[in-house]
């Protein structure tokens, strides 16, 4: 009865609030920067002595994002940014003035790792949709990082080709950056209207500044970019690149010589300024990192990260709904573990490949001017066979462990109002001979109300597994309501899956047959107090059930908090009470 009352309270509160509110997001004027066309590009060396930088207006007057809220930058630490463009790229210069340059931390790191360094960042949203943008970062040590961003989520597995160099003097440090249009996707228009944000982190002061003000108490950071105008009539070069490869091998052992030869090609082509075709033909992934060896004593398969660049670059559309686990392509054959049972008397296992060879893969992705993201993915793997030898006759026979397989993904993602989206995605695996086919369709939504005070998100996914003479259909859903504005917030969510839900032909799912509920409430601060820079306390409860039979798995209630003092001392705690858990899995 108590759980039911709480559920009703959390459902009614958003409705009451929605009815009462008439205001939208506070109208904070967005800054605008007009880019200047140039005929002679600057030399990207980090030294801002090119003539063009003397003639271009600057973007300045940065305001604090952390730990304060909109405080103007210190007079001793101004940041001055300038931007220009031509038909090949946009060019950015940034001056990070510091009256104590000896205190600037400069830890050198590998790409996409910032660590203990100051940094300057650029967020570019070529569709000005409040959601999708590309982040470029350069540190005071000269290391670079780039990420694809959706809302506040960053994906640093995304890597593109761009240039960035730095320099130092007794007034601070400087950055010079070139971002080719080939690194961006944008609509074909006579005049572009992009949104842009600049940021600067001063580590020894523990302060982060942005060019355009960000209201942390409401909405997403991506909705607070300034506007970039002035980019007109650009004629970018054709986006086309080839990566051919060839390899040969000769193996001699005990007088027996075997040789092999392979060749393949990766290529990328810009179908338009907004859509890109990526393809890999007879790929060789020998250059990728090995998986870490792990001892698996649990009941579930091991899940590994993706090391093949083709399956990590430009895949943000295909990962919607978590229905795509790229390691399924070229995975262990379906019949790998059944070969021993096929052995007859006097037979031995000669060869049993542990992966299916990828023949080719293609993906096309992009977004139209009206915010519709379109993605298509296809991959084909070769038939895989195990070799069994007869010890009496010396003859070998082969059995198919994985038939020829075709993997497909189609996704449509419509974004609107600069804060919401709906998505339809389908994944399909077809195996020659119908050993096992899989098909999954998902409908997703992520909707914020006009004032960005409430978020409603959910997923409905249906799976179909076709085996010889058998068709198994499953269903899963997620739904959540969250208060996303102000110091006091709350939310509830529900997760469900029936006992036949199965996405493991192209996705990854360990458990099904559950019916779970969660509620939470929290209080946080956005401006420093006399004692604390940050503070967040949260109370939550969850109730987990098995769907069939309808019995409780566990229930729990807990709290956690985290705080940082003005002296940057961080502390927190986590406490949870849980009933005895019935682990059905």
Name which of 56-70, 183-197, 279-293 the model is least confident about.
279-293
* Mean predicted lDDT score pLDDT of the chain: 89
Q: In the numeric block, which tokens belong to residue 176?
A: 């010079």
Q: What is the pLDDT of residue 288?
A: 60
Strands 89-97 and 532-546: unpaired
Nearest to 185 by CA among 194, 174, 198: 194
Nearest to 381 by CA among 333, 338, 339, 425: 333
Residues linked to residue 196 through DSSP beta bridges, in sequence order: 124, 226
Half-sphere exposure of 423 (CA within 13 A, CB side): 30
Identify whether 549 is preceded by a cis peptide bond (ω within 30 of 0): yes
Q: In the numeric block, which tokens belong to residue 40?
A: 């002679």
Name which of 241-245, 394-398, 504-508, 578-582 the model is least confident about.
241-245
Where along the chain do its domains lie?
29-229, 242-248+272-295+305-512
Nearest to 535 by CA among 499, 560, 511: 560
* 107 has pLDDT over 80: yes
Q: Mean pLDDT, to the nearest integer, of 510-521?
A: 96
Q: What is the pLDDT of residue 582?
A: 86
* 52 has pLDDT over 60: yes
Indicate if the alpha-carbon torsion angle 104, 107, 113, 115 is positive or negative. Answer: negative
Residues 6+ apart with CB under 8 A from 406: 378, 379, 380, 429, 430, 431
Give tens-digit pLDDT for 275-290. 999 999 888 765 566 6
* 315 has pLDDT over 70: yes
- Distance between CA atoms of 70 and 332, rounded to whole angstroms? 53
468 falls in which pLDDT band (50, 70, 90)?
confident
Q: Mean pLDDT, to the nearest integer, of 310-314?
A: 80
Predicted model pTM: 0.82
Q: Mean pLDDT, to the nearest integer, of 437-449?
A: 96
CA dihedral 371, 153, 418, 94 (to 10 degrees): -100
- Distance between CA atoms of 434 and 341, rounded to whole angstroms? 21
CATH number for the segment(s) 29-229 = 2.60.40.1190
Give tens-digit pLDDT for 392-433. 898 999 999 999 999 999 999 999 888 899 999 999 999 987
Measure Cα distances from 416 to 148, 420, 431 in Å.
Answer: 19, 6, 38
Phi then psi dihedrals of residue 328, to 5 deg: -65, -30
Q: Mean pLDDT, to the nearest integer, of 214-228?
A: 91
- What percentage of residues in the chain have a pLDDT greater than 70? 94
Q: What is the pLDDT of residue 45?
A: 95
Q: Is 4 exposed, middle or buried (0-12, 13-18, 19+ CB in 10 A)?
A: exposed
Strands 514-524 and 347-351: unpaired
Measure Cα distances from 326 to 153, 361, 386, 492 in Å.
Answer: 20, 12, 24, 31
Residues 6+ apart with CB under 8 A from 138: 119, 120, 121, 144, 145, 164, 166, 175, 177
Q: What is the pLDDT of residue 458?
A: 97
Q: What is the pLDDT of residue 566?
A: 83
* 8 has pLDDT over 80: no
């Amino acid at each position: 009865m108590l759980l039911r009352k709480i559920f009703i309270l959390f459902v009614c509160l958003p409705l009451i609030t929605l009815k009462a509110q008439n205001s939208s997001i506070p109208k904070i004027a967005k800054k605008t920067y007009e880019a200047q066309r140039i005929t002679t590009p600057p030399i990207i060396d980090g030294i801002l002595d090119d003539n063009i930088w003397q003639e271009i207006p600057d973007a300045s007057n940065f305001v604090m994002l952390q730990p304060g809220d909109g405080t103007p930058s210190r007079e001793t630490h101004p940041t001055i940014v300038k931007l220009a463009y031509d038909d090949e790229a946009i060019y950015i210069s940034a001056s990070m003035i510091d009256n104590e340059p000896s205190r600037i931390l400069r830890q050198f790191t590998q790409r996409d790792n910032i660590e203990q360094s100051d940094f300057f960042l650029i967020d570019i949203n070529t569709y000005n949709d409040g959601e999708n943008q590309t982040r470029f970062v350069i540190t005071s040590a000269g290391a670079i990082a780039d990420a694809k961003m959706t809302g506040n989520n960053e994906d640093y597995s995304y890597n593109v080709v761009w240039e960035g160099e730095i320099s130092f003097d007794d007034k601070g440090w400087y950055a010079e950056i070139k971002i080719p249009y080939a690194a961006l996707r944008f609509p074909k228009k006579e005049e572009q209207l992009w949104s842009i944000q600049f940021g600067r982190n001063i580590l020894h002061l523990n302060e982060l500044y942005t060019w355009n003000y960000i209201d942390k108490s409401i909405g997403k950071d991506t909705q607070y970019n300034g506007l970039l105008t002035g980019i007109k009539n650009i004629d970018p070069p054709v986006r086309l690149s080839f990566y051919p490869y060839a390899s040969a091998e000769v193996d001699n052992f005990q007088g027996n010589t075997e040789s092999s030869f392979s060749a393949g090609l990766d290529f990328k082509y810009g179908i338009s300024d907004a859509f890109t075709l990526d393809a890999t033909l007879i790929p060789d992934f020998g250059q990728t990192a090995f998986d870490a060896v792990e001892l698996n004593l649990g009941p579930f398969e091991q899940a590994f990260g993706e090391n093949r660049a083709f399956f990590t670059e430009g895949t943000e559309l295909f990962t919607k709904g978590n229905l795509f686990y790229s390691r399924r392509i070229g995975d262990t054959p379906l019949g790998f573990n059944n070969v021993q049972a096929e052995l007859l008397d006097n037979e031995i296992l000669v060869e049993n490949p542990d992966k299916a060879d990828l023949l080719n893969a293609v993906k096309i992705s992009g977004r139209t001017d009206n915010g519709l993201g379109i993605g298509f993915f296809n991959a084909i793997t070769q038939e895989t066979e195990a070799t069994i030898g007869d010890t009496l006759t010396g003859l070998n026979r082969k059995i198919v462990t994985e038939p020829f397989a075709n993997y497909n993904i189609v996704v449509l993602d419509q974004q609107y109002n600069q804060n919401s989206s709906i998505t339809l995605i389908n994944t399909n695996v077809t195996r020659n001979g119908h050993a096992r086919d899989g098909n999954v369709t998902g409908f997703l939504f992520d909707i914020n109300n006009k004032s960005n005070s409430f978020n409603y998100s959910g997923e409905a996914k249906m799976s179909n597994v076709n085996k010889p003479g058998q068709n198994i259909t499953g269903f899963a859903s997620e739904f959540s309501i969250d208060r996303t504005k102000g110091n006091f917030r709350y939310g509830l969510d529900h997760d469900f899956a029936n006992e036949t839900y199965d996405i493991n032909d192209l996705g990854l799912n360990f458990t099904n047959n559950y019916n779970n509920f969660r509620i939470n409430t929290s209080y946080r601060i956005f401006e420093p107090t006399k004692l604390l820079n940050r503070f967040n306390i949260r109370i939550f409860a969850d109730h987990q059930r098995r769907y069939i039979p309808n019995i409780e798995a566990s229930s729990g209630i807990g709290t956690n908090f985290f705080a940082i003092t003005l002296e940057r001392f961080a502390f927190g705690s986590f406490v949870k009470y849980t009933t005895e858990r019935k682990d059905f899995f």
